[in-house]
Amino acid sequence: MKMDNENIVEIKNLKKSFDNGKIKALNGINLQIKKGEFVSIIGPSGSGKSTLLNMLGALDKADDGFISVAGYDLSGKRLNEFRSRKIGFIFQLHNLIPNLSVVENVEIPMYGTHMPGGEMRDRAIVLLEYVGLSNKINRKPTELSGGERQRVAIARALANKPDIILADEPTGSLDSKTGAMVLERLKELHEKSEVTLIMVTHDMNVASMADRTIKVLDGQIQT
Ligand SMILES: Nc1ncnc2c1ncn2[C@@H]1O[C@H](COP(=O)(O)OP(=O)(O)OP(=O)(O)O)[C@@H](O)[C@H]1O
Ligand SMILES: [Mg+2]
């Protein structure tokens, strides 16, 4: 693990509610994560883990508090730039586009860059080889198993060489063998590069692989 003292995530008293304030999904989160750290996030269903991850990826805005990730103040502007350059997101439900092929799904994050089409395709194929899916590149997501879809989602998350990978239960729906492969890929990535890995999981064995585990309960971090 390469790690320096720079915080890539700074969160102060972050709040997010739904239903006109009735549901306090995040209720004053304070969190710092160092560049290169592998952090797992655990906590019961409904405790706010996915909401927190969405905030980290600038997929949703907080109501109150401060959040900065990779030098971007996420209450500010340039969030499209932030999302496309800094973040690779592996969703709880893998969110592949059903009418695009596997390789086209992996290319999506590269559309916003200035990469030529042929280069995008080559990179997508290399990434699909990396996750063991070179024989499925022209399939549609509906023709794949759950584990294969999750591996496509990993390839897609890596497409832009992100600084931070946000993974929401990347192994939740997988059998133990496929889950282990997915984890192995993520861990390898974290160990070989500077990438910061933030992973929500219900699996304590998975959580224990991380440098640090954060517990979320009722929208707050347990210390
Ligand atoms: N878009 C939304 N609208 C209304 N309520 C929401 C929304 N998103 C999340 N919530 C609520 O906010 C709370 C936190 O949800 P969140 O998805 O962050 O939980 P979680 O910890 O990821 O749970 P799980 O382990 O089941 O995935 C829950 O009470 C949930 O019902
Ligand atoms: Mg969730």
Domains of the chain: 7-96+161-222 (3.40.50.300)
Q: Ligand 1 centre and the CA of 95: distance in Å?
A: 17
Whether residue 2 is predicted with pLDDT greater than 50 in this model: the reply is no
Q: What is the model's pLDDT at position 5?
A: 66
Cα–Cα–Cα angle for 176, 182, 188, rounded to 5 degrees: 125
Decide whether any atom of ligand 1 lies within 6 Å of the 23 Cβ: yes
Q: What is the model's pLDDT at position 29?
A: 98
Q: Ligand 2 centre and the CA of 116: distance in Å?
A: 36
Provide, rounded to the nearest whole percent, the portion of the chain with pLDDT above 90.
Answer: 67
Cross-sheet strand order for the sheet of 72-73 = 23-34, 7-18, 64-69, 72-73
Q: What is the model's pLDDT at position 1?
A: 46
Q: What is the model's pLDDT at position 141?
A: 94
Residue 130's contacts (CB-CB under 8 Å, 6 or more residues apart) are 155, 158, 185
Highest mean pLDDT among 50-64, 85-99, 164-178, 186-200: 50-64
Q: pLDDT tens, 102-129?
A: 999 999 989 878 889 899 999 999 999 9
Residue 34's contacts (CB-CB under 8 Å, 6 or more residues apart) are 3, 4, 5, 6, 7, 8, 196
The pTM of this model reads: 0.90
